[in-house]
Amino acid sequence: MSSLVQSVDWLAIAPPTIAAVVGLAVLVADLFLADARKALLGWSSVAGLALSLLALLPLLDGDRATFCRVTGGDACSYAADRFTLVVQLLVLGGALLAALLSVTALKDADRRLPEGEYWFLLLSSAAGAALLPASRDLATLIVALEVASLPAFALVGIRHGDRRSSEAALKFFLSSVTATAVSLLGVSFVYATTGTLYLTEVAGRIGDVDGQLHTLAQTGVVLTLVGFAFKTAAVPFHFWVPDTYVGAPLPIAAYLSVVGKAVGFSGLILVTVVAFPPYAGVWGPALAVLAALTMTAGNVGALRQRATRAHGAVRLLAWSSVGQAGYLLVPIAAAAYTDDAEGAVGSTVAYALMYAAVNLGAFAIAALVARRSPLNRVADYRGLYASHPVTALVLAFFLLCLAGLPPGVVGLFAKVTVFSAAVDAGLGWLSVVMAVNVVIALVYYLRWTALLFRAPEGETRKHRVPAPLTAAIALTAVLGVALSGAPQLILRFSDTGLF
Amino acid sequence: MIDISESVMQFLLALIVVGPLIGAAAALLPAPPGLKGKSPDQAVLRHGVVVTGAVLVAAIVLALGFDHSRPSRMQATTDISWIPALDVRIHLGIDGISLPLLVLTALLTFLCALYSYFKTPAGPSPKAFVALLLVLETGTLATFAVLDLLLFFLAFETVLVPMYFLIARWGGAGRRAAAWKFILYTLLGSVVMLLGLLLVGLNSGTFDMVALATDNGRSLTTSVQVVAVLAIGIGLAVKTPMWPLHSWLPDAHTAAPTVGSVLLAGVLLKMGTYGFVRILLPVAPEGMRTFAPYLAAFAVVGIVYGSLACLSLAKQGAKGDLKRLIAYSSVGHMGFVLLGIATMSPTGVNGALFANIAHGLITGLLFFLVGAVKDRTGTTDLDALSRAAAGTRSVAGATGAPGSAGSTSGTGGTSGTGSTGAAGTGGALYSRAPRLGGLLSFAAVASLGLPGLGGFWGEMLALFGAFRPAEGLSRPAFLVFMAVAAFGTLLTAAYLLVVVRRVCMGPAERESPELADVRTYEFAAWTPLVVLTVVAGLWPRALLGLTDPAVQQLLSGGTR
């Protein structure tokens, strides 16, 4: 009889593990470190995230799987395939950039934020987010979702004594927990009908469940999606976004806007395309409608933002991230209608990579402006070109990438892949809705862009840009420009199989 | 004409497309030592002239090296894979259809840069102006040079942002609203066009225009073709613009700076009609046949509508804006182009392409001239202009205050009575600035299609095409269209002559303010356009010899 003990491929699970271990180490080190040397914590966290990114390299040679069942079938709980690696790259890279922003933010906060806890929470959340795309059973998936979310609640409310921060955290927490509970209920229904939690086995069995259990399975599928839809901030689970982003420290808002979304859509992809393909008729139309509503709600919300409102820039980015989430959902919905489901979800991954790079860049510049004018209204960006010409040009580039207009070539082609997935799947109405949304979105992106180059209102003062912020802006800008020259680097995921 | 090796030709075409983009990036950098000039502004404007000049030279050399005995063949082709995931290839090439447009674009942009060098546009720093102008040039040149549907879309979109900023930052009254209208209209159109392009590409398995044209729509079902033509057609029709999707054009033209108007009318509108000829005619012929009568009907309505709008603007007391009037006349002229395309016959399409070029030359010239008039008198208001000479008799100050008279409300209260009192007067440009007046009436007469000048042949051939449209199209319907369009030419003549009479003729009073006549740099910028208009009128074969073989082949099954 073979051993019942599962063998563990440590190399395969290295990326999330490193992040988690470094997180714990930072928490412990915080106890022994003198106040003057707290900055070390930040830099070791940044190094830890970089290290876990490097740990992706040895995995490139082929698919790996671990935590496999020893008896009865070869289902595994953890897989390091191409999809996993790409999303882990996105998540860990996003966390790294958010960490760079945090270094400056914590320094500016001057010990009003607890540094040890901050870094511990950020790294734990990143570890959970990196675990999620690798999960191949429903239990691990939910656990990863919670590991990614729970620290995020605390991070949002980390500003002690700040009413808005606590309120945002509470809002975020309550709605998220409800969504997770609903999701868990769905998972239990699916387990009840199929008798397995492994995604591949669910896919095999859910197609021919007992006729009496059919409704239960269908309900299970829909409810499972809810939790992940919440994470992507799809309508009607988008209300928490603007308040949470404004209430949270700015680097955390940046983190949520990218990594939070990645958690949501990678979970959705795993559940829909891997676990529930026989129910494409149920989740396909549902996701299509959700995508249309989400992008419309997000873009209209962003359009209604006034330039003079306090924290308008972050609020605008929050609403626009809801709109972008709508675009991310389109190819997943299209996957239900086409034979090439992997190619379709590849479009989502490609779009998410583009979005992550430029959106984090935009947040980095928002963090820069927030140092000068703490209210961070959109109107504060007026005349940025006069004081910081390079920064203004880079922000204009990011915004045009988000809008999908040249010179943001990569944004344009990322939108083209999404459109092409929709057209290929025959979702004509959805692509028309998206076309209208692209035009709406252009209004607020271009309005902001134009503001950068207007003559400044008062005198302009040059500020020194802190090194971590410079690094973050430079990194995202170089990424954006390089991808504009060679969009194939990310678009290839829409062409080849990911699983 | 001259023998140039293929690889040099490839290089030239690539340089034409990429050169302005590099130039735009360089314009943003500080000038290197030795090239600083008198001031940073002067240096950057000179940089613009040099880059556009180099591109023009390259375009001319390309035209000389073009094998004129086989204009239907794609020449100077480059074909490199760029984004395999989307099957996007950097496929460049020119044939008899795109070459004239390419040269026209390079020429007009160069003339604009030259004009701006001497007459710095009023607005923020010239640095951004030059950079935007060069990005705009890349976008327009690339539109005419690329042979890949998605690349075409990319080029089509590239012009939006620079043009938006040119209008919004350097424009006149109402510029911000006009710029928004321009970019939102065209973006909505082009996103819909993208859907059509994707539909074509995904259903036929390639985005390559040459392959698609050779296929001639055989791998696309009729229903796909119909939907694709509808989607792509809407995008192109917004850009052209076709009535009733034209309403962004008059506002954009009225608000845009002179250079912006010239490029908008001379080049940007051509991108729409070029798309019709290059993409829709060969790729989806069946879908095109379905919509051809409607297209022709809209085109004819556009001709009559444009002319009537111009007539009402040209009326006394209508406070018509000269730039707005020319914009509406563009709607009419582009109607002829669309009518020619809608006939789907070689004659009509050749006429359309000819009218395209002629309109670019003549309307470009007209906008230059109106810009010059505005610089001198401070207004483009026809009533104010025609009253200008009779300075003491009519409302005082109508000419003296630049800006106030340009807006529609400036002297509103008094103009109603003033204009009746000033009835029968004219701007007397002939006596006050004879050369300027002469050029203006030359351009107006060329625009109305006088035989012997460039405007004639295009409209003539378009009407001929409508007389005998392609097989499968209803001839009686097209005969009606032809008759209406012919009536439109009469209206065109009417309003242009009214304009000439009101602006150029009339007695000059001694008290009327002095006007500077045409300056040297203005001569330099305008002479090429005048000469080419005459050449096109007297020697149409130079152009038709290029387009005709290419059109024949495009209609009968693609390019080789």
Full 3-state SS string of B102-137: HHHHHHHHHHHHHHHHHCCCCCCCHHHHHHHHHHHH
Nearest to A52 by CA among A13, A24, A108, A105: A13
Task: Say yes or no to pLDDT of B350 above 70.
Answer: yes
Give every CB contact of residue A380 below 8 A, 6+ residues apart in sequence.
A313, A369, A372, A373
Q: Given an 8 Å threshold on Cβ–Cβ distance, is B188 in contact with A495? A: no
Q: pLDDT band at residue A60, thresholds of 50, 70 and 90?
A: confident
The pLDDT value recorded for residue A371 is 86
CB count within 10 Å of CB A175 equals: 16
Query: Is residue A400 domain-resident?
Result: yes
Exposed (0-12), middle (13-18) or buried (19+): which is B5, by Cβ within 10 Å? exposed
Higher per-residue pLDDT: A74 or B543: B543
Highest mean pLDDT among A368-372, B151-155, B391-395: B151-155
Task: Say yes or no to pLDDT of B419 above 50.
Answer: no
Lowest-confidence pick of A53-57, B122-126, B160-164, B182-186: B122-126
Q: What is the pLDDT of residues A385-435, one digit of tens each?
A: 888 889 999 999 999 999 998 888 999 999 999 999 999 898 989 999 999
Question: Going along A21-125, which residue ranges are E strands?
Answer: 64-68, 76-80
Task: Say yes or no to pLDDT of B392 above 60.
Answer: no
Helix (H) or strand (E) holding A12: none
CA count, 13 A, side-chain hemisphere, B21: 15
Give every CB contact of residue B37 below 8 A, 6+ residues apart in sequence.
B31, B43, B46
According to DSSP, the residues that pair with B80 across neighbouring strands are B90
Lowest-confidence pick of A40-44, A188-192, A455-459, B455-459: A455-459
Q: pLDDT band at residue A352, thresholds of 50, 70 and 90?
A: very high
Give every CB contact of residue A51 below 8 A, 6+ residues apart in sequence.
A18, A22
Helix (H) or strand (E) holding B81: strand B75-83
Can you tell me the mean pLDDT for B189-207?
A: 92
Eight-state DSSP code of residue B97: T
Can you tell me the mean pLDDT for B510-537?
A: 85
The pLDDT value recorded for residue A189 is 92
Q: pLDDT band at residue B511, thresholds of 50, 70 and 90?
A: low
Task: Say yes or no to pLDDT of B396 above 60.
Answer: no
According to DSSP, the residues that pair with B92 across neighbouring strands are B78, B146
Task: Say yes or no to pLDDT of A111 above 80.
Answer: no
Parallel/antiparallel/unpaired status of strands A64-68 and B75-83: unpaired
Amino acid identity of residue A280, one-letter, is: A
Q: How far is B252 from chain A (nearest CA, A)?
A: 17
Residue given tokens 């998540």 in the structure block: A91
Task: Say yes or no to pLDDT of B525 above 70.
Answer: yes
Can you tell me the mean pLDDT for B326-351?
A: 93
Q: Given an 8 Å threshold on Cβ–Cβ distance, is A407 in contact with B135? A: yes
The answer to whether the beta carbons of residues B259 and B121 sit under 8 Å apart is: yes
Q: Given an 8 Å threshold on Cβ–Cβ distance, is B184 in contact with A492? A: no
Task: Tell me phi and psi for residue A237, to 5 degrees.
Answer: -100, 35
Task: Say yes or no to pLDDT of B391 above 50.
Answer: no
Cis peptide before B126 (omega within 30 of 0): no
Task: Say yes or no to pLDDT of B510 above 90.
Answer: no
Q: pLDDT band at residue B558, thresholds of 50, 70 and 90?
A: low
Q: In whole angstroms, what is the distance from residue B469 CA to residue B480 CA?
A: 12
Highest mean pLDDT among B22-36, B141-155, B501-515: B141-155
The pLDDT value recorded for residue B376 is 84
Alpha-carbon distances of A132 from A341, B488, B548, rounded to whole Å: 20, 67, 62
ipTM over cut 0.85 = yes
Q: Given an 8 Å threshold on Cβ–Cβ distance, is B153 in contact with A405? A: no
Task: Say yes or no to pLDDT of A71 above 80.
Answer: no
According to DSSP, the residues that pair with B148 across neighbouring strands are B208
Which of A405, A450, A455 shows the shortest C-beta gap to B168? A450
Return the percentage of chain B with pLDDT > 90, whole number: 59
Task: Say yes or no to pLDDT of B232 above 80.
Answer: yes
Amino acid identity of residue B485, one-letter, is: A
The token pair that represents B173 in the structure block = 């009254």
Task: Say yes or no to pLDDT of B398 above 70.
Answer: no
As a whole number, the mean pLDDT across chain B is: 86
Can you tell me the mean pLDDT for B290-315?
A: 93
Task: Say yes or no to pLDDT of A10 above 80.
Answer: yes
Which of B85, B157, B183 shows the shortest C-beta gap to A406? B157
The pLDDT value recorded for residue A262 is 92
- Name the residue range of residue A325's domain: 14-494
The answer to whether the beta carbons of residues B461 and B354 sit under 8 Å apart is: yes
Exposed (0-12), middle (13-18) or buried (19+): which is A289, by Cβ within 10 Å? middle
Higher per-residue pLDDT: B542 or B426: B542
Residue of A nearest to B187 (CA): A439
Q: What is the pLDDT of residues B81-92, one digit of tens each?
A: 998 888 899 999
Q: In whole angstroms, what is the distance from residue A227 CA to residue A177 CA?
A: 9
Interface probe for B, chosen from A348, A351, A418, A420 (most Cβ of B below 10 Å), is A420
Q: How far is B229 from chain A (nearest CA, A)?
A: 15
Amino acid identity of residue B276, one-letter, is: F
Residues of A with CB under 8 A from a CB of B: 350, 393, 400, 405-407, 409, 412-413, 416-417, 419-420, 423-424, 428, 431-432, 435-436, 438-439, 442-443, 446, 450, 453, 455, 487-488, 491-495
Alpha-carbon distances of A29 from A33, A42, A51, A96, rounded to whole Å: 6, 11, 18, 20
Q: In whole angstroms, what is the distance from residue A208 CA to residue B203 CA?
A: 34
Q: pLDDT band at residue B355, thresholds of 50, 70 and 90?
A: very high
Q: pLDDT band at residue B411, thresholds of 50, 70 and 90?
A: very low
Task: Say yes or no to pLDDT of B30 above 90.
Answer: no
Higher per-residue pLDDT: B383 or A436: A436
Q: Given an 8 Å threshold on Cβ–Cβ distance, is B183 in contact with A487? A: no
The pLDDT value recorded for residue B56 is 95
The pLDDT value recorded for residue B397 is 40
Query: Is residue A191 domain-resident?
Result: yes
Q: pLDDT band at residue B422, thresholds of 50, 70 and 90?
A: very low
Question: Exposure pattern of B518-529 as b/e (b: 16+ CB <10 Å)?
Answer: beeebeebbebb
Q: Given an 8 Å threshold on Cβ–Cβ distance, is B194 in contact with A453? A: no
Q: How far is A42 from chain B (nearest CA, A)?
A: 36
As a whole number, the mean pLDDT across chain A is: 89
Which of B85, B135, B161 shows the shortest C-beta gap to A492? B85
DSSP letters along A202-236, please? HHHHHTT--GGGHHHHHHHHHHHHHHHHHHTT-TT
What are the chain A neighbours of B168 within 8 Å (beta carbons)? 450
Task: Tell me phi and psi for residue B149, to 5 degrees.
Answer: -60, -45
What are the chain B neighbours of A344 within 8 Å (beta carbons)? none
CB count within 10 Å of CB B15 equals: 16
Query: Is residue A3 domain-resident?
Result: no
What are the chain B neighbours of A488 within 8 Å (beta carbons)? 82-85
Can you tell me the mean pLDDT for B243-270?
A: 91
Q: How far is A1 from chain B (nearest CA, A)?
A: 48
> Taking phi first (over 0 means left), then psi (-120 to 50 degrees means alpha), and beta for anything else, what does residue B473 get?
beta
Query: Is residue A123 domain-resident?
Result: yes
Task: Say yes or no to pLDDT of B408 above 50.
Answer: no
Q: In whole angstroms, what is the distance from residue A364 CA to residue A403 CA?
A: 18
Interface probe for B, chosen from A413, A417, A418, A447 (most Cβ of B below 10 Å), is A413
Task: Say yes or no to pLDDT of B249 above 70.
Answer: yes
Higher per-residue pLDDT: B354 or B510: B354
Alpha-carbon distances of A475 from A254, A317, B488, rounded to whole Å: 15, 20, 59
Which of A393, A416, A435 shows the shortest C-beta gap to B192? A435
Residue of A nearest to B201 (CA): A420
Can you tell me the mean pLDDT for A177-181?
A: 89
How much is the CA Rg of chain B, to the nearest whole Å?
A: 23
Q: pLDDT band at residue B348, thresholds of 50, 70 and 90?
A: very high
Q: Given an 8 Å threshold on Cβ–Cβ distance, is B191 in contact with A450? A: no
Q: pLDDT band at residue B417, thresholds of 50, 70 and 90?
A: very low
The token pair that represents B553 in the structure block = 């082949």
- Provide the residue count of chain B: 560
Which of B84, B88, B195 shows the shortest C-beta gap to A431? B195
pTM of the model: 0.91
The token pair that represents B383 in the structure block = 């009533």
The pLDDT value recorded for residue A460 is 65
Q: In whole angstroms, what is the distance from residue B64 CA to residue B1 CA?
A: 5
> Taking phi first (over 0 means left), then psi (-120 to 50 degrees means alpha), and beta for anything else, what does residue B95 get?
beta
Q: What is the pLDDT of residues A292-311, one digit of tens each?
A: 999 999 999 999 888 888 88
Q: In whole angstroms, what is the distance from residue A433 CA to residue A309 CA?
A: 29
DSSP letters along B510-544, please? TTSPP-----HHHHHHHHHHHHHHHHHHH-THHHH
Question: Exposure pattern of B229-259 as b/e (b: 16+ CB <10 Å)?
Answer: bbbbbbbbbbbbbbbebbebbbbbbbbbbbb
Can you tell me the mean pLDDT for A196-204?
A: 89
**Count of domains for chain A:** 1
Q: In whole angstroms, what is the distance from residue A283 CA to residue A279 CA?
A: 7
What are the chain A neighbours of B136 within 8 Å (beta carbons)? none
Q: Given an 8 Å threshold on Cβ–Cβ distance, is B85 in contact with A491? A: yes
Q: How far is B306 from chain A (nearest CA, A)?
A: 28
Residue of B nearest to A414 (CA): B86
The pLDDT value recorded for residue B513 is 67
Q: In whole angstroms, what is the distance from residue B152 CA to residue B161 CA?
A: 16
List the end-to-end C-alpha distance of chain B, in Å, as a whole number: 21
Interface probe for B, chosen from A409, A442, A451, A492 (most Cβ of B below 10 Å), is A442
Q: Given an 8 Å threshold on Cβ–Cβ distance, is A423 in contact with B88? A: no
What are the chain A neighbours of B180 within 8 Å (beta carbons)? 443
- Provide the residue count of chain A: 499
Task: Tell me phi and psi for residue A67, to 5 degrees.
Answer: 55, 50
Q: pLDDT band at residue B426, thresholds of 50, 70 and 90?
A: low
Q: In whole angstroms, what is the distance from residue B72 CA to residue B79 CA?
A: 18
Give every CB contact of residue A430 below 8 A, 6+ residues apart in sequence.
A288, A291, A292, A330, A333, A334, A422
Q: In whole angstroms, what is the distance from residue B17 CA to residue A64 CA?
A: 46
Question: Going along A391-482, which residue ranges are E strands?
Answer: none
Q: Say how far residue B62 (Cα) sits from the centre of its chain.
A: 22
Q: pLDDT band at residue B395, thresholds of 50, 70 and 90?
A: very low
Query: Is residue A2 domain-resident?
Result: no
CB count within 10 Å of CB A371 equals: 17
Task: Say yes or no to pLDDT of B464 above 90.
Answer: yes
Task: Say yes or no to pLDDT of B128 above 70.
Answer: yes
Alpha-carbon distances of A72 from A69, A75, A194, rounded to whole Å: 7, 8, 16
The pLDDT value recorded for residue B87 is 87
What are the chain A neighbours of B192 within 8 Å (beta carbons)? 432, 435
